[in-house]
Amino acid sequence: MLGYVNIQGRGTIDDLLYALAEDLAGRGLRVAGAVQRNLPDEADTSCDMDLKILTGTRTIRISQSLGVHASGCRLDPQALEEAVGEVEASLNAPKPPDLLIVNKFGRQEAEGRGFRTAISAALVRDIPTLIGVRDGYLADLENWAGDMAHSVSADQIEDWCKRAIATD
């Protein structure tokens, strides 16, 4: 079961998935994946992007400071792959997670990298998976996942998780 959340507003999906992951883990569910937190950067006009790995206490900075005048992508691909490796390892735990949450299906995933292999691995193992996706990558997600992907509105996200976990 693959669900995706597509809502407007910078950081809105990140905040929603972060709060959801915290809530589900607080209820005793085994939640794997990574959620993003954006932190202001005093030395830059952008924000620092951190991924919280949900199966532990580790946070990995996936952005790199390119300076005030930089306009290119600030993603640190090595840091992202490190986070992906940790998430994939959690999928192979003796007791599999109840749910995988991935902060986004973005450029890396659209190009076959990033969390795409972790999402695939979870689906093969019948682990319900919930991801965030912005408008610019929605077509890429739909082309890759086909009719396997289902849109989940922000107000239905908890019900979707309950149904997904119950059918697992």
Give me the number of domains the chain comprises. 1
Beta bridge partners of 35: 52
pLDDT, residue 12, reads 83
**What does pTM read for this prediction?**
0.86
CA 83 centroid distance within chain: 11
Q: Which residues contact 96 (CB under 8 A, 6 or more apart)?
A: 30, 125, 127
CA end-to-end distance (rounded Å), the chain:
9
Domain that residue 121 falls in: 2-167
Query: By C-alpha distance, which of 136, 53, 58 is closest to 101?
Result: 53
Q: Which two tokens stand for residue 85?
A: 């490796």
CA 167 centroid distance within chain: 21
Q: Which single residue is written with the structure tokens 């193992």? A: 125
pLDDT, residue 139, reads 96
Query: By C-alpha distance, which of 7, 17, 15 is closest to 99?
Result: 17
pLDDT in tens, 91-131: 988 999 999 999 989 988 999 999 999 999 999 999 999 99
Q: What is the CATH number of the domain that holds 53?
A: 3.40.50
List of the chain residues with pLDDT < 50 = 44, 72
Helix (H, G, I), strand (E, B) or coil at 152: coil
